[in-house]
Amino acid sequence: MSPRIGVTGVGWSGFTPTTAGRSYKELMFEAASAAYLDAGVDPRTDVDSFVCASEDVEEGTSIFDEYVPDQLGAVQRPVQTVASDGLFALATAMMLIRSGVANVVAVEAHSKASDILTPGRVDAFALDPVLNRPLGVPALALAGLEMRWYLHASGRTSEQCTEVAARNREHARSNRRASFADVDGDDAPLFDPLTTHQAARSADGCVVIVLASEDRTDGSRTVWVEGIGWSQDAPSVESRDWSRAVAAERAAATAYAQADVRPGDIDTAEVDDTFAYKQLQHLDALGLTELDTASVNRSGGALGEGYLHEANGLARILAAVEQLRAGDGRASVVQSWRGVPSTSAAVAVLKRDR
């Protein structure tokens, strides 16, 4: 593939249960300022295009890209919104660069979950409006049902899911962004067998990533995106395979082929752990079941950092870039999922030159 594309700058803000007194625009400005400083670019002159991952339903307003140029430094510049997870927005930025439309692209995703008063009603909009939505089945009920079927089909156990949640929060204790390294209260049932401590809790935050073609990087701190893939499985609850993350399997196959790697070449992984069982299911899909558990979600994942909604994928990219820059392995896999009841997935392979 040509040209080679790398992450040259990362920035973040928030990562707390609530950001009272700070708007999503302020969070976005803080994260963007940090990312541009890290990349050594001026958004007004050096960045060719901007991609924002936002869902109008969660934002409470439509055509959301009209609300982002000021804080991203993108006034009167090309801006587009991807109504999906931030890792899909990263894929869009890569296509802009590969097509020759741009050389430097800034990607943004954020969560202001503390402003969402009725998350269950928002989730319902993702269900089929004719067959599923009228039933009034909560998203957590679907997660519990899927977890039960996955455990039955895979031979995994609820105890393994409990271990995933505990291990991720243990990893999170060394992560300054983690708000949920320690959780209070009993591990009460949410929808059997899913429990409270096995579900990531919402947080506010923003992540901005700067991507550039090889001729626009200095290479010294660049983390290369060697492969990326994305996929969407069956949209209806009735027609999907509840025992496997099929979309993640397809996305991983594409990303691995582009990067010319196999699962055995991967040193670390940052994968979606919205629910503890999903981390196990996603590792199955990525072919990483043999990867040392100490090398999976060293950031603590969403269970430790908090669930950032559309920013989840960029949060995983942020963690992987930091690890690779610190010399923690040479190849990392990042994977995202948009949450119940979707079957979306995106996978990226990152590498650091030595």
Per domain, the residue ranges of the chain are 5-117+203-216
Give me the CATH code for the 5-117+203-216 domain, please: 3.40.47.10
Question: What DSSP string runs through 289-307?
Answer: TTS-GGGB-TT-HHHHH-B
Dist CA 152 CA 169 (whole Å):
26
Q: What is the pLDDT of residue 1?
A: 47
For residues 84 and 338, the answer to whether their CB atoms sit within 8 Å is yes
pTM, entire model: 0.96
Residue 106 contacts residue 208 (beta carbons within 8 Å): yes
Task: Decide: helix, strand or coil at residue 210.
Answer: strand
Q: What is the pLDDT of residue 126?
A: 84
The Cα 175–Cα 223 span in angstroms is 20
Distance separating alpha carbons of residues 26 and 52, to the nearest angstrom: 15
Q: What is the pLDDT of residue 111?
A: 96
SS3 content of the chain, % helix, strand, coil (to 5): 40, 20, 35
Q: Give the Cα-Cα-Cα angle 1, 52, 12 (nearest 5 degrees).
A: 95
Question: What token pair was written down for 30?
Answer: 């803080």
Beta-sheet strands, E only, within 44-183: 49-53, 79-82, 104-112
CA distance 313 to 302: 10
Spell out the per-residue pLDDT of the chain, length 354, in tens.
457 999 999 999 999 999 999 999 999 999 999 999 999 999 999 999 999 999 888 888 888 888 899 999 999 999 999 989 999 999 999 999 999 999 999 999 999 999 988 888 888 888 888 888 898 999 899 999 999 999 999 999 999 999 999 999 999 999 999 999 999 889 999 999 999 999 999 999 999 999 999 999 987 799 999 999 999 998 788 888 999 999 999 999 999 999 999 999 999 999 999 999 999 999 999 999 999 999 999 999 999 999 999 999 999 999 999 999 999 999 999 999 999 888 999 999 999 987
8-state DSSP, 260: T
Q: Across the beta sheet with 5-16, what order do the strands follow?
A: 79-82, 49-53, 104-112, 204-213, 5-16, 223-232, 344-351, 331-336, 268-270
- Give 102: exposed, middle or buried? Use CB within 10 Å, 0-12, 13-18, 19+: buried
